[in-house]
Structure 1
Amino acid sequence: MTEDHIPSTIERRADAAAREVVDVGDGIDRVMGDRDLYARMLRRFRKDYSDGDRPIRVALTAGDRALAHRLSHTLKGAAGMIGARPLHLLACDLETALRTASGEETACLDALTPALSQVIAILDTLLNEAVPMTAHATQPNAAMADPALLARLLDLLISGDGAAIDLLDDSEAGLRMILGDAQFDEVVLAANEFDYDRALGALRRLGHAS
């Protein structure tokens, strides 16, 4: 089925106003053009942040700054991966405020709250009856060799889950086939240093590798 025959794709549902909040094209690029995977990531984001910023607020109220910082870091990465640039920047500000104890934590969180709510509202629109658009058979992609395996790795890295390291170890052969030696080694190095953002960046560059 070609794009022209698909009545409702996530890309077509994203009008100009929505793209200012969630850049669908950027998000799809980040997962190497795999639109089905991107749709799953949007659903995962909507599920994970159905409570908005409440978990971060609860952590701050309880005085658990380490947890609040970790949650803001995870939100920053997740927002970046789906192309939610304004939210990503606000999460960066919050993460920095928490890390440096600048005294701006509450102000940063208050600024982030409506932006996160706006992203969730737009995801509701994008995902409502949207039909994911699969890659054309005439345009093979290395990630299609085992999309479930790559999707699992992306989910773990986005979540900051240490199980990503286990997956890289247990599924080395399959992931090397998908990523190639250079990208795989870079992802492994970053993951073992718990630098999940850098590992995700290495995955993104796969789409531009020769």
Structure 2
Amino acid sequence: MDSPDQRHLPAALDDPAVNHAGGIARLMGDGNLFGRVLARFRNEYRQAAAGIRTAHDQGDAVLALRLVHTLKGAAGMIEAVPLRRQADVVERMLHTNDGGIHGSLARLQDELERVLRELDALASTLPERRPAAPATRPPQTGHDAVGRLMTLLDEGNGDAVDLVREAAGALAAQLGEDDYREVADLVECFDFDGALALLRSRADGG
């Protein structure tokens, strides 16, 4: 039987590094927002595969799992399908403590570099920051902000990244500073599932 890597490798070679049309569709057709998400990925994930390898080699399985899960989420947000698949392979191998993981880590590095080469070629077209929100936008209360954030996370909508910044005060007031920071960190890393699970846990009194 083929290994997980062998099963995924042909698809990784055939698929584009980033499915731009799919990424824009994921963000409700907002091409400008997708550009900001790509720019954030390009700036923040350059050393992601190296960090996962270092954590694994140092025996820190918890950190390696957290890093690869975050990378998988970020790859999914930009529709970098081959990278997301390979991150999933590595994540499963880390869970099972598979001794053959080094080849998978090398393929993860290759896929990440393929994505970054494409984004580097687009660098001049990627926005650096989101335009300022209109002054007429009404402030949100904590309950409004938490509900809106949960909706965006459930939809996989990248506006969640901006909301945790724009409504920081309201969210912190409702969630508490520590929980707000934990949620914000997850959202900034595109771990929308993790952030939503945490919010639901808090809503249920967990």
Q: Which runs of 4+ in 1 moved over 6 A?
A: none
Change (3 A) 1:59 1:169: same
| Counterpart position of 1:84 | 80
Tell me whether 1:128 sits opposite 2:135 in the alignment: no
Q: TM-score scaled to structure 2, two decimals?
A: 0.58
Alignment of 1:180-191 (within 5 A): 190-191=197-198
SS at match of 1:67: helix
| Conservation of the 8 A alpha-carbon contact between 2:65 and 2:91 | yes
**Secondary structure of the residue that 1:28 maps to in structure 2?**
helix
1:154 alignment counterpart: 161
User: Size of the alignment, in residue pairs?
Assistant: 141
Contact 1:22 1:85 in 2 (8 A): yes
1:101 aligns with 2:97: yes
Give unpaired runs (5+ residues) of structure 1. 1-16, 133-145, 158-162, 171-185, 195-210
* Distance apart, 1:120 and its partner CA: 0.4
Preserved contact between residue 52 and residue 117 of structure 1 (Cα < 8 Å): no
Conserved 8 A contact 2:36-2:127: no
- 1:51 corresponds in structure 2 to 47
Alignment of 1:75 onto 2:82: no
CA RMSD of aligned residues (A): 3.6
Q: What residue in structure 2 maps to residue 192 of structure 1?
A: 199
For structure 2, the residue ranges without an aligned partner over 5 or more in a row are 1-12, 129-144, 153-157, 176-192, 202-206
Encode CA deviations 1:163-185: one digit per residue, 9 max, x unaligned: 9xx47956xxxxxxxxxxxxxxx
Deviations 1:68-95 (A, max 9, x none): 0110000001001101000000000000
Q: Deviations over 1:98-154 (max 9, x none)?
A: 01112232121011111100100101112323579xxxxxxxxxxxxx9xx865623
What TM-score results when the alignment is normalised by the length of structure 1? 0.57
* Counterpart AA for 1:117: E
Q: Distance between the aligned counterparts of 2:113 and 2:172, measured in 1?
A: 33
In structure 2, distance between residues paired with 1:18 and 1:126 = 21
Compared CA separation, residues 154 and 21, structure 1 to 2 (3 A): same
